[in-house]
Amino acid sequence: MRLSLTISTLILSNLLFGQTKFNQTWISGGGYNYGTEFVNNQIFHTLISSTKFLYFSGGHSNICDSSGKVILCSDGYNVYDSNLNYIDNGDTLVPDLIYIDRDTWSELPQNSIFLPFDSSIYYLITPAMSDSHFQAYVQSSDPVLQSQACYDLLLYHKIDMKENGGAGKVVKKSIELLSNVRTDRVRMMACKHANGKDWWLIKQATDTNMMYKFLVKQDTIEGPFIQAFSEPHFGKQHLWANNLGQSVFTLDGSKYITGAQESSRICLSDFDRCTGLFSNPIVYNVPVDSPGTFYEDYFTLGLAFSASQQFLYIQKFSNLWQLDITDPDSNTAWYRVATNLHDLPNFQILCNAYLGPDNKIYIGNRNGLGNNMSVIDNPDVKGAGCNFCPQCLVFPNIGVSSPPCMPNYNLGALNPCWPSEVNEGEIENERVTIFPNPSALGMFHVECSMFNKRDVELEVYTLLGQKVISQVVRRGTLRAEVDVRGLADGVYFLRVDNYVRKVVVE
The pLDDT score that the predictor gives to residue 239 is 65
User: CA distances (Å), 359 to each of 148, 323, 378, 410, in order?
Assistant: 37, 17, 8, 13
| Secondary structure (3-state) at 26 | strand
Whole-angstrom distance, CA of residue 336 vs CA of residue 313? 10
Residue 277 lies in a domain: yes
The pLDDT score that the predictor gives to residue 54 is 92
Query: Which of 377, 394, 411 is a domain's end point?
Result: 394
Same domain, 268 and 372: yes
More confident residue, 425 or 315: 315
Query: Which of 343, 378, 394 is a domain's end point?
Result: 394
What's the CATH number where 360 sits? 2.130.10.10
Q: Is the pLDDT of residue 8 over 70?
A: no
Determine the residue type at 397: N
Domain that holds residue 460: 424-505
Whole-angstrom distance, CA of residue 271 vs CA of residue 279? 6
Q: pLDDT grade, residue 2 (50/70/90)?
A: very low
Same domain, 103 and 213: yes
Same domain, 188 and 335: yes
Whole-angstrom distance, CA of residue 138 vs CA of residue 372? 32
Whole-angstrom distance, CA of residue 73 vs CA of residue 388? 29
Same domain, 131 and 276: yes
Contact 356, 375 (CB under 8 A): no
Q: Is the pLDDT of residue 39 over 70?
A: yes
Q: pLDDT grade, residue 465 (50/70/90)?
A: low
Same domain, 384 and 431: no
Contact 272, 232 (CB under 8 A): no
Per-residue pLDDT of 51-70, as tens digits, reads 888 999 999 999 999 899 99
Select the highest-mean-pLDDT range: 62-71, 288-297, 436-445. 62-71
Per-residue pLDDT of 204-255, as tens digits, reads 999 889 999 999 999 999 999 999 999 998 876 666 778 899 999 999 999 9
Residue 413 lies in a domain: no
More confident residue, 425 or 129: 129
In what order do the strands lie in the sheet containing 278-285?
Answer: 245-249, 255-260, 265-271, 278-285
Residue 415 lies in a domain: no
Query: Which of 373, 394, 415 is a domain's end point?
Result: 394
What's the CATH number where 468 sits? 2.60.40.3080
Q: What is the mean pLDDT of the chain?
A: 89
Mean pLDDT (whole number) for 75-102: 97
DSSP one-letter code for 113: E
Whole-angstrom distance, CA of residue 298 vs CA of residue 319? 10
Closest C-alpha among 418, 503, 422 to residue 465: 418
Q: Is the pLDDT of residue 426 over 70?
A: no
Closest C-alpha among 297, 271, 170 to residue 211: 271
Mean pLDDT (whole number) for 434-462: 87
Q: pLDDT grade, residue 6 (50/70/90)?
A: very low
Query: Of 48-52, 169-173, 302-306, 325-329, which range is least confident?
Result: 48-52
Same domain, 429 and 375: no
Mean pLDDT (whole number) for 123-152: 95
Mean pLDDT (whole number) for 373-394: 97
Closest C-alpha among 204, 175, 270, 189 to residue 212: 204
Mean pLDDT (whole number) for 68-86: 97
Whole-angstrom distance, CA of residue 497 vs CA of residue 474? 12
Same domain, 323 and 282: yes
Q: pLDDT grade, residue 9 (50/70/90)?
A: very low
Whole-angstrom distance, CA of residue 281 vs CA of residue 279? 6
Residue 196 lies in a domain: yes
Mean pLDDT (whole number) for 15-34: 80
Per-residue pLDDT of 264-286, as tens digits, reads 899 999 999 988 989 999 999 99
Residue 411 lies in a domain: no
Contact 451, 499 (CB under 8 A): no
The pLDDT score that the predictor gives to residue 238 is 67
Query: Of 12-21, 73-82, 298-307, which range is least confident?
Result: 12-21
Could you give the residue ranges of the DSSP H alpha helices within 400-448? 424-429
Same domain, 175 and 270: yes
Residue 239 lies in a domain: yes
Q: pLDDT grade, residue 295 (50/70/90)?
A: confident
Same domain, 142 and 285: yes
Same domain, 495 and 385: no
User: CA distances (Å), 76 to each of 1, 93, 253, 500, in order?
Assistant: 44, 8, 24, 39
Whole-angstrom distance, CA of residue 4 vs CA of residue 2? 6
The pLDDT score that the predictor gives to residue 421 is 54
Whole-angstrom distance, CA of residue 189 vs CA of residue 201? 6
Contact 301, 333 (CB under 8 A): no
CA contacts within 13 A on the Cβ side of 303: 32
Element (H, E) at 311: strand 311-315
Could you give the residue ranges of the DSSP H alpha helices within 348-490? 424-429
Which positions ≥6 away from 444 have C-beta within 8 Å? Answer: 434, 435, 436, 437, 481, 482, 484, 494, 503
Q: Is the pLDDT of residue 100 over 90?
A: yes
Q: Is the pLDDT of residue 428 over 80?
A: no
The pLDDT score that the predictor gives to residue 88 is 98
Mean pLDDT (whole number) for 376-398: 96
Q: pLDDT grade, residue 82 (50/70/90)?
A: very high
DSSP one-letter code for 86: B
Name the percent of the chain lying above pLDDT 90.
66
Whole-angstrom distance, CA of residue 161 vs CA of residue 169? 6
**Total of domains in the chain:** 2
Same domain, 137 and 95: yes
pTM comes to: 0.84
Element (H, E) at 28: strand 25-30
Same domain, 184 and 272: yes
The pLDDT score that the predictor gives to residue 261 is 87
**SS3 string of 333-378?**
HEEEEECCHHHCCCCCCEEEEEECCCCCEEEEECCCCECEEEEECC
How many distinct helices (H) and strands (E) make up the chain? 6, 33
Q: Is the pLDDT of residue 31 over 50?
A: yes
Residue 404 lies in a domain: no
- Determine phi and psi for 323, rounding to 5 degrees: -125, 125
Q: How many CB atoms lie within 10 A of CB 293?
A: 8
Select the highest-mean-pLDDT range: 12-26, 75-89, 239-253, 284-298. 75-89
Residue 406 lies in a domain: no
**SS3 string of 6-50?**
HHHHHHHHHHHHCCCCCCCEEEEEECEEEEEEEECCEEEEEEEEC
